[in-house]
């Protein structure tokens, strides 16, 4: 959906990203000429749309209820801010579900637009655009590898500093999917972790992305920013402290081991942990740890900008 433009070159856009675990909203005024962004609303709700999809192949009724409740909230915010353009993108869980038509109809009824069930490749491209827009002036070695770990899939995207994607792939492992497949115990047993590792290794091996060539790793989305908060031992979730923080590969590895050794109750009690992420963060950290171990980078740059920002800038006609 495209609409009228505001004065002074500004476009007010609303971007919605509905993933397997989280649905997010960004309302922002964007200036395509200067590349500036004024954020007005950034919201996130843990809705677990992908609940059971890996096992049943369909979206659960209670999951749809949670998603539609969040969309009702977002619809009110979007209406309040009188946006010029709106784009709603849905990713892994909705792509995989046999009853995706129910989801599509529910979004249309609430927002007046059809959700775009984007491909893994498009998701990867938008993630890269969103993550790298603010890095042009930083002295980071190329090529970049953007890692976006969702609930149902993980995007691995390699590119350069001007936003050109050189290789990218979406692999069907994510924090929710991996937890439901393997990590049944609380905390997970060593055997369960070994099974999850084997699944991750097989998925990475199938991906046509040369991870060993990456010189800079940029990690985005809630799993990675939460692991970053844990690595930094923050007293609360602090977006400003997390955004563009650099954490070492060794520290991520230690954090992953620590999270996997905790019970769900112990993870929930961590001051930076969203309760809707506590049961799946161990699996997500394990994916990140394994991806990092296959690169030559000794550290990772965390970014609060992600696929949501890529969706927003696509509406302004100013993708890199």
- Can you give the pLDDT at residue 135? 81
Position 204 in a domain: yes
* Residues ≥6 apart with Cβ < 8 Å to 19: 49, 50, 90, 91, 92, 93, 150, 151, 152
Residue 164 and residue 274 in one domain: yes
Position 87 in a domain: yes
Position 126 in a domain: no
Q: What is the pLDDT along the chain (320 residues), one digit of tens a residue?
A: 444 445 556 789 999 999 888 899 999 999 877 778 888 999 999 898 888 887 898 999 999 999 999 999 999 999 999 999 999 999 767 777 889 899 999 999 999 999 998 887 788 888 888 888 878 778 888 899 999 998 888 989 999 887 788 998 888 899 989 999 999 999 999 999 999 999 999 999 999 999 999 999 999 989 999 999 999 999 999 999 999 999 999 999 999 999 999 999 999 999 999 998 999 999 999 999 999 999 999 999 999 988 899 999 998 865 44
**Calpha distance 183→195 (Å, rounded):** 9
- Can you give the pLDDT at residue 320? 46
- Can you give the pLDDT at residue 5? 47
Residue 96 and residue 245 in one domain: no
For 151, which DSSP code? Answer: S
Residue 142 and residue 231 in one domain: yes
Contact between residue 268 and residue 187 where contact means Cβ atoms under 8 Å apart: no
- Scored b (16 or more CB within 10 A) or e, 194-230 reads ebbbebbeebbeebebebeebebbbbbbbbbbbbbbb
Position 116 in a domain: yes
Residue 254 and residue 291 in one domain: yes
Residue 31 and residue 68 in one domain: yes
Residue 110 and residue 148 in one domain: no
- Can you give the pLDDT at residue 1? 42
Position 129 in a domain: no
- Can you give the pLDDT at residue 213? 93
Predicted TM-score (pTM) of the model is: 0.83
Residue 44 and residue 162 in one domain: no
Residue 110 and residue 141 in one domain: no
Residue 55 and residue 107 in one domain: yes
C-alpha torsion 208→284→307→232, nearest 10: -120
Position 128 in a domain: no
Residue 141 and residue 281 in one domain: yes
Residue 94 and residue 143 in one domain: no
**Calpha distance 82→85 (Å, rounded):** 9
Peptide bond into 251 cis (omega under 30): no
- Can you give the pLDDT at residue 149? 93
Position 127 in a domain: no
- Can you give the pLDDT at residue 8? 57
Position 1 in a domain: no
Contact between residue 229 and residue 242 where contact means Cβ atoms under 8 Å apart: yes
Which range of residues forms the domain containing residue 185? 135-303
- Our count of domains for the chain comes to 2
- Can you give the pLDDT at residue 225? 96
CATH number, position 69: 3.30.420.40
CATH number, position 185: 3.30.420.150
- Can you give the pLDDT at residue 234? 97
- Can you give the pLDDT at residue 92? 67
Residue 86 and residue 142 in one domain: no
């Amino acid at each position: 959906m495209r609409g009228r433009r505001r004065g002074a070159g500004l476009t007010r856009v609303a971007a919605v990203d509905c993933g397997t675990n989280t649905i997010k909203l960004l309302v922002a005024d964007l200036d395509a000429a200067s590349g500036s962004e004024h954020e007005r609303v950034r919201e996130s709700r843990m809705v677990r749309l992908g609940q059971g999809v890996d096992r049943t192949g369909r979206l659960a009724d209670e999951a749809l209820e949670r998603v539609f409740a969040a969309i009702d909230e977002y619809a009110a915010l979007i209406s309040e801010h009188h946006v010029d353009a709106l784009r709603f993108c849905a990713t892994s869980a909705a792509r995989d579900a046999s009853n995706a038509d129910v989801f599509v109809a529910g979004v249309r009824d609430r927002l007046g637009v059809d959700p775009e069930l984007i491909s893994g490749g498009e998701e990867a491209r938008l993630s890269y655009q969103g993550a790298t827009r603010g890095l042009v002036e930083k002295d980071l070695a190329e090529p970049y590898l953007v890692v976006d770990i969702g609930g149902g899939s993980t995007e691995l995207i390699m590119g350069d500093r001007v936003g050109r994607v050189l290789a990218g792939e979406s692999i069907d492992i994510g924090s929710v999917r991996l937890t439901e497949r393997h990590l049944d115990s609380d905390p997970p047993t060593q055997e369960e972790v070994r099974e999850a590792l084997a699944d991750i290794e097989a998925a990475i091996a199938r991906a046509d992305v040369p991870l060993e060539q990456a010189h800079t790793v940029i990690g985005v989305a809630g799993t990675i920013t939460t692991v970053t908060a844990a690595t930094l031992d923050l007293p609360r979730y602090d977006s400003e402290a997390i955004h563009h923080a650099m954490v070492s590969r060794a520290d991520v590895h230690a954090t992953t081991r620590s999270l996997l050794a905790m019970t769900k109750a112990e993870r929930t009690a961590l001051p930076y942990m969203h309760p809707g992420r506590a049961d799946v963060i161990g699996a997500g950290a394990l994916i990140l740890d394994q991806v990092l171990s296959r690169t030559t980078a000794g550290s990772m740059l965390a970014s609060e900008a992600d696929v949501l920002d890529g969706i927003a800038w696509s509406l302004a006609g100013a993708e890199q």
